[in-house]
Amino acid sequence: MDCRNERVAIFVDGANMFYAQRVLGWHLDFARVIEYFTRGRELYNAFYYTGVQVPPDTSQRDFLTALRHLGFTIREKSIKETLDQSSNAVIRRANLDIEIVVDMFNTVTRYDIAILMSGDGDFERAVELIRSKGKEIVGVGTRGMISSELENACDRYIKLEDIRSEVEKIR
C-alpha cells in the first residue's frame, strides 16, 4: 500500500505516558509525536486519555488546551481517590482503558495504522482483535514499563528512548 494513502490514528494513554516521561527524565513534544508517526501519511485522529482533578489543576488544563490546539480529541475522567486498606495509602486513579479500546474499535474503519502509546498489558486482547481486522498496531512505550504481552501482541513496538531525537520537547 502506498504510504500516502495510509491513515493513522494515535491513542495516547496519558497516565502511562506521564509516568514514562518521569522515568525517562525528558518530555514528549506531542506536535513532534504526530509528525513522527504520520510522515507522509494522513492523520485520521489523535486521542489523548487522562484523569483530571476536580477542580482542574491549572497546569493540566493548560496542557490539555495545548493538545486540543494540536488537533487531539481529549477523553477525560475525574480522578477517584480510594484508601488502600493494607497500607493506608490514598490511591488516585481514573482508569480509561475501556475508553481507549472503545475508540479503537469504533474508529477501526477510519485508520490503517493505530499507534498505541501505552505499555499496559490490559490492551493485549484488544490489540489482537484489531490486528485480526487487518490493521497494523504499533505500540509505543519505554523500557521497564512495557508489558511483554502487549509488546508481543503489537506488529511493532517502539521504545521512546530509541526515537528521543524525533519526539523530545526541546526547551
Counting Cα atoms < 13 Å in the Cβ hemisphere of 80 gives 7
- Residue ranges per structural domain of the chain: 3-167
**Averaged pLDDT score across all residues of the chain:** 93
Predicted confidence (pLDDT) at residue 113 exceeds the cutoff of 70: yes
Q: Which residues contact 37 (CB under 8 A, 6 or more apart)?
A: 8, 10, 115, 138
- Give the predicted TM-score (pTM) of the model: 0.92
Instruction: Return the SS3 of 29.
Output: coil
- The CATH code that applies to domain 3-167 is 3.40.50.1010
Predicted confidence (pLDDT) at residue 1 exceeds the cutoff of 70: no
Give the per-residue pLDDT at 90: 75
Predicted confidence (pLDDT) at residue 155 exceeds the cutoff of 90: yes
Instruction: Return the SS3 of 10.
Output: strand
Give the per-residue pLDDT at 2: 56
Give the per-residue pLDDT at 17: 96
Give the per-residue pLDDT at 127: 98
Q: How confident is the model at residue 164 (pLDDT cuts 50, 70, 90)?
A: very high
Q: How confident is the model at residue 56 (pLDDT cuts 50, 70, 90)?
A: confident
Q: How confident is the model at residue 3 (pLDDT cuts 50, 70, 90)?
A: low
Least confident of 12-16, 79-83, 96-100: 79-83
